[in-house]
Structure 1
């Protein structure tokens, strides 16, 4: 059984936790107020927080996260303008996180889905698909298996370098929803 700690208690945290628990994972939560002081005990740690919180969490939990699968779900948007990503061109929030946590196995996932599509398991008539990128095959396989056990589809999207494209896709989806071009219960589906 996979043991998961989710840092965050918002809509995404609860939707991800619901999927993983449905698949048999043991899921515990650390609120943002407790973050940095409460221990993380899961073998998989999901950082379900806004992008600006990643640096502080990496600093606070660096030693505890060594050897763990660390899931970055953030989309590093400029939320004041919704017109750009705030990471350097060609980089990603996940790459920055991996550099800050060299002992962890960072994967990018869940950033191209909305909480509603995770909770319902559907994007339109299609099963919700979680795209997973990372440099550690075992870490990606652990997350892919846990997501599939929870009833969703999951695809290994490649190396951590692909997090750049996943964040661009997440950015596009968020701006479409914020501009009321798509609903927050919609999004992109992967059809094969």
Structure 2
């Protein structure tokens, strides 16, 4: 049993937290809105706790579950409190009109976040290609991950497996650019060709 810290208390944070709690881990929730953090912890039960926003998270794995527009602020608010942590970035930095990604050319949301973190923190891109309500339904889903630090990647792979997910390594953190483009493509597919948000990306291996 491990403590997993989540920054954020929105719908995606709730979906991930629910999966974590069902897997037997302890969830720690922190939010700029303490009442929302407490409400989520109460819904989760299973020993879920809250933490004061901006203080050092109890978990060695910290999930940054805020919109990309708020990610830089959250990282700045935590500062050195994230040193030594493995930070999972779940954001999809899409433009409000869904016309593209808002990150600088040749970069990704995950890479931009990594630039602002303490040197001892490691970013792993994950969860951005799974819709929250699909994740909450359960079942074994494919979870694509990208990171530069091999040890951090291995830890998150083990963590994802504990949630009943199948981690699929797509390479270094630069590959987060591709995963974020995939996230945008999935939104487009839901709104157009698929006609539904009830689907997930799966890799069929031989």
Q: Same fold (TM over 0.5)?
A: yes
Q: Which has the higher contact order (CA 8 A, sep 6+)?
A: 1
Q: Which residue of 2 aligns with 1:170?
A: 183
Q: 1:91 to 1:191 in 2, by over 3 A?
A: same
What is the CA-CA distance between 1:61 and the residue it aligns to? 0.8
Please list every run of 5 or more consecutive structure 1 residues that lacks an aligned counterpart in the other structure.
none
Matched with 1:89 is 105
Q: In 2, are the aligned partners of 1:113 and 1:187 still within 8 Å (CA)?
A: yes
Distance, in Å, in 1 between the alignment partners of 2:134 and 2:151 is 26
Distance 2:152 2:195 in 1: 32
1:43 aligns with 2:60: yes
- Once residues 89 and 32 of structure 1 are traced to their aligned partners in structure 2, the CA distance between those partners, rounded to angstroms, is 30
Question: What are the superposed Cα offsets for residues 60-84 of structure 1, whole Å, 9 maximum, x if unpaired?
Answer: 11211000000100000012x1111
CA deviation profile, 1:45-98 (whole Å, cap 9, x unmatched): 10111001111111111211000000100000012x111100012210000011
1:106 matched to 2:119: no
Inter-partner Cα distance in structure 1 for 2:58 and 2:192: 39
Question: Which residue in 1 is equivalent to 2:171?
Answer: 158
- The answer as to 2:25 corresponding to 1:25 is yes
- Which residue pairs with 1:4 in the alignment? 4
Q: Secondary structure at the match of 1:4?
A: strand
How far did 1:20 drift?
2.3
Q: CA separation in 2, counterparts of 1:39 and 1:105?
A: 15
| SS of match in other structure, 2:77 | helix
Deviation at 1:179, TM superposition (A): 4.3
CA contact (8 A) 1:22 1:149 kept: no
TM-score scaled to structure 2, two decimals?
A: 0.84
Q: How many residues align?
A: 187
TM-score, with structure 1 as normaliser: 0.89
Establish whether residue 187 from structure 1 lines up as the match of residue 187 from structure 2: no
Describe the shift of the 1:12–1:180 C-alpha distance in structure 2 as closer, same or farther (beyond 3 A): farther
Deviations 1:108-157 (A, max 9, x none): 000000012211234xxxx3111111111111111111111121211122
| Runs of 4 or more consecutive aligned structure 1 residues displaced over 4 Å after TM superposition | none
Question: What is the distance in 1 between the residues matched to 2:153 and 2:19?
Answer: 16
